[in-house]
Structure 1
Amino acid sequence: MKKYIGLLFVMLGLLGFAQEPQKEGAVRDFEALVINAQSNLPMESVHVVNLNQVIGTITDKEGKFSIQAAVNDTLYFSYLGFKSQKIRITNDMFKFKDTKIALTELAYALEEVVIRPYQLTGYLEIDVKNLPINTAYQYSISGLSKSYEAGNKSPGAVTKVLGAILNPADLLRNLFGKKPRQMRKLRQMKEDDEIRNLLASKFDRETLTELLQIEKVDIDDILSNCNYSKSFISTANDLQILDAISSCYEEFKVLNRGK
């Protein structure tokens, strides 16, 4: 009889251990399904980014995905033509493993676009003068691997470039200095292939702002102070923007090394 009572206590202990909630901070595989909110059909190739662990993945043909995560981590879902969504992982999601995330399709309203063709005369010398010219000159600095855009060519352009490299220091310190994790995230984002693939296909800065926890205006300010042209800031994809921010910060550190 004592033998059976002892066995009963052991089984109850194991059952209690199995039902113990996932401890916060413990990272493990998280699995779920992404569906279309309107049709309830699974969605393939949805980008899923863990904003805390800074890793990404995509859903398979059945809309399923698996990603490393911990309780209270935030997942960011992105798919072209659908509203991006964030969810926070709970203990129940790990326990039941039947979580479904529904994405809502966006309704796009196309505005009227007026196309104004160039007034060509047929005379090459005249027409060439009427075409717009990109005046964003680039200057290279010895010791740095990349050149910098400096706007219109002028005698003070090089001085402007040097000043632009140093001036972002305060801005970058304000944005990242008090949040050293953000710069670590920047490096992690550059190393994760899935995140890079996602950023290469996006132009809305949404994923960048979510990952770095900064505003879109901050991104524009950083690049503007690093002397990137307005045309680059407005037309570059999110991956190019990420590389530009990272390059600006790394080169600032090179110039200020030893100070």
Structure 2
Amino acid sequence: MRIFFTINLILIFSQVVLSQSQISGLVYDADNYSSIFGAHLRNINTNTQSISTKEGKFKIEASIGDTLIISHISYQSKLVVVKQLSFQNIELDEEVTQLDEIKVYNLPNDEFAFKRKILKTEVKTDEKFIPFGVTPAKPMGEIPKQFEKESGLEFGADEDFNPSFTLPLSYFRKRFDKKYQSKMEYYELKATSDDRIIIDKKYNKELIHKLTALEGEDLMDFMSYLNLNNKYILEASDYEITLLIINSFKEYKLEKFKD
């Protein structure tokens, strides 16, 4: 009886230890091998987080099979599937940001002129404003309002419920002006191609294989099971897409097991 009780205690203790496994490692620059301070690590499975030290070292709760997302403002985000509980070496590639235009201005002569210039500066209200140093989630491949394909016709009714409609000035140009129609086609194609690049980067076979280890027909079958629409992929974060894939794969395996 005492032996049986001891064995149970050992089993319970081992389960607790396994459920609270902690891995450690080093985050460093893939180019010059220098340590990266302030890298953010998140375990998608347990929703635990950690930040690398000045030496690039980190510790985070994780078990074999868990997925980590490592991100840093100056580097490309990376997904790592924990395959062993030993020391982890994680390298990040630098995020290259291209400046389209640089404007150089003369500084005001004194602090009062500087204050006047600041006060006259218009406040930027564009929701797509990206703070310096932050990589945008997607390129701004948008269709200018005047070149959208919608006709702009608006139907309604007056107070006596008599039908009415509004016909914008651009209606006839969109309908009959060949040059204008060519511009509409150009902007639509550009926006579509930009979106395609983002979709392929955020959701692809390599990512799903990394998270599920599926290959060949099994991989394609699971992707058909997911059937994510383009709108969701464009709007969702990398974290949300990864979490959806992991949870959907669990459901997929259960359904396959039932069959």
TM range (shorter): 0.3 to 0.5
- TM-score, normalization: structure 1? 0.35
Q: Which has the larger radius of gyration?
A: 2
- TM-score, normalization: structure 2? 0.35
